[in-house]
Amino acid sequence: MNNTDKATLDAAKRMLQGKIDINEVSMMLGVPVEKLQPLKDEVDEQVRKVYGNLDSYDFSEPVLFENFDDLGNDDDLDSDEDNTY
């Protein structure tokens, strides 16, 4: 395998890790899907080892923050209440 082929497969692996569809990676890089399938299986196995059955998109839910200022005070609470957490 020459350096060009190695770099192409490395780019394909990075694209697959970024959740780009295997058919799109094949089209962009000009590599047959059959040659990319072992890479996709390897990436999927790595994800399963790290995250279990969770997909990386399961972590992309929006996070809601309270209305705390820089000192940790909550503007929604009355000033006489203890608002330290």
Mean pLDDT for 33-47 is 91
10 vs 76: CA distance, rounded Å: 51
**Stronger pLDDT, 31 or 50, i.e. the higher one:** 31
Query: What's the CA dihedral at 22, 24, 26, 30 to 10 degrees?
Result: -170
End-to-end CA distance of the chain: 58
pLDDT at 12: 94
43-81 pLDDT, tens digit each: 988 877 766 666 555 555 555 555 555 555 655 555 555
Q: Name which residue leads in pLDDT, 33 or 54.
A: 33
* Torsion angle, alpha carbons of 31, 37, 42, 47, to 10: 100
Residue among 2, 35, 1 at smallest CA distance from 12? 35
Q: Which two tokens stand for residue 64?
A: 């809601």
Its pTM surpasses 0.85:
no
